[in-house]
Amino acid sequence: MGESRHALIIANDAYEDQGLKTLRAPGHDAEALSEVLGDPQIGDFDVEVVRNASAQDMRTSIEAFFSDRRRDDKLVLHFSCHGIKNESGDLYFAARDTQPRLLNATAVPAQFVYGCMSGTRAGCTALFLDCCYGGAFSRGASVRASPDMHVLDAFTGEKPSGGRGWAVITASNSMEYAFEDAKLTEGSTAKPSVFTHAVVEGLETGDADLKGRGEVWLDDLYEYVFDRVKERNPNQTPSKTTQMQGSMQLAHSRHRRIRVEAEPLPRRVQEALRSRNEFTRLGAVDEVRSRMESQNLSMAEGARQALETVARDDTQQVADKARRALSDACLKPSPARLDFGRVPRGTAAPRQSVSLHGTPLARHCVAHATCKWLQVEESAEGLTVGVDTSVEGRLTGDIALKGVADDAVVQVEAEVVPPPPEKPPDKSPTGSEGKEPGLTHRRESRLLLAPALAAAALALAVTSVITAVVAIVGTWHAEEGLRVGPEETFATSAHHHGVITALITALITATTALVLGAFARRDLSARRKRYTPGAKSATRSMTSAAKRCAIPVFVLTVLMSIAYNIVTQYK
């Protein structure tokens, strides 16, 4: 049977006994941690949250959590509450109904938790203790915590016989406070504690993947949390004790970078790269570049590393050639920006495609979304990107592409809007389903306004080119007519060959084409969210072509008109 992953989060922030301080963070801690542990792309744990439970309910939940497990199971138990020691030095976890003078009956002994951990058959267990020890009691309380806490002492002993073992990480040691957002004052807005915030941050961002292996392991997470906690509050020191073979994989990392074993260059190519003759080295760069474009990724990676060395250490001419080869092999997503526009909430997730260009080595990459609403799947050509439409609002996120030595980002935007209101059926003769055909037609016309204007502009621009050609040919014939029959004036000959009509037509159509193109671009810019990417691309292409045709014709016809007026005065 496969691996099974389970997490139990116990969070107590309200206590019936007035001597115990109310904590601000546990509720927020439970929510943040359960979300990241339960995320299929990160922790993929089956998460249970027990909040403000009685001591009996806590014991029942803990024992049930560790019972009936298999050797392939991975367990995470997280406490966010007060930790108390009695006069004998025994550690207890405070429940909602804990009475400091009756800890055996109203609190959960750490020894009970230790016994459950030791007896389970689960492969490995991680216990996180984000407990406030020294600050457990309010001023004036008749019972206080022992000054000699040493929390981890409660979880040391012989190696457990059931599973592979366990590890305990505590937010603070001895009599230190487990700081809540670097403060212990009451009445502030609830935020995660310093310790749990670091745990959630390390797992969620993948920054706790210190070695870039694509997975977050328990030892790496502890190092990450230790550094972050000490950085934010030097007075708090996380601690760890381990009774485990190896380490425990806690989550998947979004920082994974693909690694390819590099194949060394052939000896003759290496010697050519080291040649004293610069032309020999330039030729060797070409050969190494061709190897970098190979389908054999090991060969390509060896060539890429060699080019990096040349680009760094060789003469300027050879180094520049190596840099150009490296730049040509970069990962190039197309398009680099996706805009889904306005999408009604609750509709099927819209999808767009992203093509990956570059060498086979460059395209050998992993993609991960930086936001949960982004859906990314690999396809034959590259990526298929979707958007979750369950929550309304403006969505902006990235898809990070990480390759062997090159990274790229695809920006994604969308706006999830309220769904259109459902209209009652209309039995009027305007439509079989109560829809008014004219309204739909007008709405579609508005949506297609820019492409229609662009098409008209292009058609007029082509017409202006044709009529301009007619005017030029007519002018030539008019000039030839003067040589044959000098008794005619140039104006008469030009009128006879239709020059004036062609000039006026070309000038009007060119001007109109430019005006319509300007209106099309303006409507596209003002209502860009209404148009599909295809409509946007077609509009831009047609307006650009119309502009390239109409401007020369406009200038030419104006010059010809001026020349006509001058010539007719003398001929």
Residue pLDDT tens, the chain, 571 long: 457 899 999 999 888 988 777 776 677 878 889 999 998 888 889 999 999 999 999 999 999 999 989 888 999 999 988 888 888 878 899 999 999 889 999 999 988 998 898 888 888 899 999 887 643 333 333 344 444 455 666 566 555 555 557 888 888 765 455 555 544 434 444 456 888 889 998 888 888 887 767 788 899 999 999 998 888 888 788 888 888 777 788 888 765 556 788 899 999 999 999 999 999 999 999 999 999 999 998 999 899 999 999 999 899 999 999 999 888 778 889 999 999 998 898 888 788 999 988 888 888 888 877 777 888 888 777 889 988 888 888 989 888 888 777 788 999 999 989 888 766 655 554 444 444 444 444 444 445 678 888 888 888 888 888 888 888 887 777 677 666 555 566 667 666 677 778 888 888 988 898 888 888 888 877 776 677 777 777 888 888 888 888 888 888 888 887 877 777 666 5
CB-based contact 137:20 (threshold 8 Å)? yes
Nearest partner of 8 among 126, 121, 131, judged by Cα: 126
Nearest partner of 94 among 169, 25, 12, judged by Cα: 12
The pLDDT value recorded for residue 191 is 53
Strands (E), 39-90: 46-51, 74-85
Sign of the dihedral through C-alpha 375, 379, 383, 387: negative
The pLDDT value recorded for residue 187 is 41
CB-based contact 149:175 (threshold 8 Å)? yes
Q: Quote the CA–CA distance of 207 and 219 in Å, as a whole number.
A: 13
Nearest partner of 409 among 374, 361, 380, 381, judged by Cα: 374
Q: Quote the CA–CA distance of 78 and 342 in Å, as a whole number.
A: 41
Distance, CA of 500 to chain centre: 62
Q: Quote the CA–CA distance of 358 and 341 in Å, as a whole number.
A: 28
Nearest partner of 451 among 376, 557, 523, judged by Cα: 523
* DSSP type of residue 365: -
Token pair for residue 14? Answer: 């309200």
Q: Quote the CA–CA distance of 544 and 540 in Å, as a whole number.
A: 6
The pLDDT value recorded for residue 64 is 95
CB-based contact 229:183 (threshold 8 Å)? no
Distance, CA of 351 to chain centre: 16
Task: Count CB-CB contacts under 10 A for residue 199.
Answer: 30
H helix or E strand, kind and range, residue 462:
helix 449-484
CB-based contact 367:400 (threshold 8 Å)? yes
Q: Angle, nearest 10°, between helix axes 316-328 and 297-313?
A: 150
Task: Count CB-CB contacts under 10 A for residue 45.
Answer: 24
Nearest partner of 299 among 378, 404, 408, 407, judged by Cα: 404
Q: Please name every residue paired with 408 in a beta bridge, in sequence order, or none if there are none.
A: 401
Find the farthest-apart pair of alpha carbons in the chain and give their distance in angstroms, rounded. Answer: 131
Q: Quote the CA–CA distance of 445 and 94 in Å, as a whole number.
A: 68
Scan for tokens 């395209």, then name that residue: 363
Q: Quote the CA–CA distance of 85 and 145 in Å, as a whole number.
A: 6
Q: Quote the CA–CA distance of 128 and 193 in Å, as a whole number.
A: 13
The pLDDT value recorded for residue 57 is 96
Scan for tokens 């700081």, then name that residue: 179
CB-based contact 3:73 (threshold 8 Å)? yes
Helix, strand, coil percent content, the chain, rounded in steps of 5: 45, 20, 35
Residues ≥6 apart with Cβ < 8 Å to 319? 310, 311, 312, 313
The pLDDT value recorded for residue 431 is 45
Scan for tokens 């159509």, then name that residue: 509
Q: Quote the CA–CA distance of 161 and 194 in Å, as a whole number.
A: 34
Q: Quote the CA–CA distance of 506 and 509 in Å, as a whole number.
A: 5
Nearest partner of 543 among 459, 446, 444, judged by Cα: 459
335 preceded by a cis bond (ω within 30 of 0): yes
- Dihedrals phi, psi of 370, to nearest 5 degrees: -85, -5
Q: What is the CA radius of gyration of the chain?
A: 37
Q: Quote the CA–CA distance of 171 and 182 in Å, as a whole number.
A: 12
The pLDDT value recorded for residue 407 is 81
Q: How far is CA 409 from CA 397, 398, 401, 412, 496, in A?
A: 10, 6, 6, 10, 64
* DSSP type of residue 183: B
Rounded to a whole number of angstroms, the distance between the first and last alpha carbons of the chain is 102
One-letter amino acid for residue 295 of the chain: Q
Q: Quote the CA–CA distance of 282 and 252 in Å, as a whole number.
A: 44
Token pair for residue 268? Answer: 């003759």
